[in-house]
Amino acid sequence: MWELNHNNCLVSHAPLLAQMRAELASIGEKERILKERRADREAYRYLLEAHRLTARECFFDELPLNVAPQEGGEDGQLAA
């Protein structure tokens, strides 16, 4: 008797179980995509920060320091 009820229960719930499996598969796929995107964003941030640092270093290395000596006035003081 238990086997008969158990089999009927499984048959009546089969569409629901199939739907739940499909939803779980969909959730798993969405999680996988989100993890890939997160990894892509982390890689992009790392490369962007590295680019910023190297660009800053290059900018300061190429920045000429043209500081002309100031000439003093008649009494040796600098002009204001």
Instruction: Walk along the chain (80 residues) and give the pLDDT tens digit of each residue.
Output: 445 555 666 667 888 999 999 999 999 999 999 999 999 999 999 999 999 988 877 776 665 656 555 555 555 555 55
Q: Is residue 42 part of a domain?
A: yes
pLDDT at 63: 59
| Token digits of residue 50 | 């590295």
Phi-psi group of 51: left, alpha or beta (phi > 0 → left; psi -120 to 50 → alpha; rest → beta): alpha
Q: Report the predicted TM-score, pTM, of the whole model to 2 decimal places.
A: 0.48
C-alpha distances in Å from residue 13, one per residue of 3, 23, 26, 58: 15, 15, 20, 67
58 within a domain of the structure (yes/no):
yes
Containing structural domain, residue 35: 1-63
Q: Does 71 fall in a domain?
A: no
**Total domain count for the chain?**
1
In a domain, 75, yes or no: no
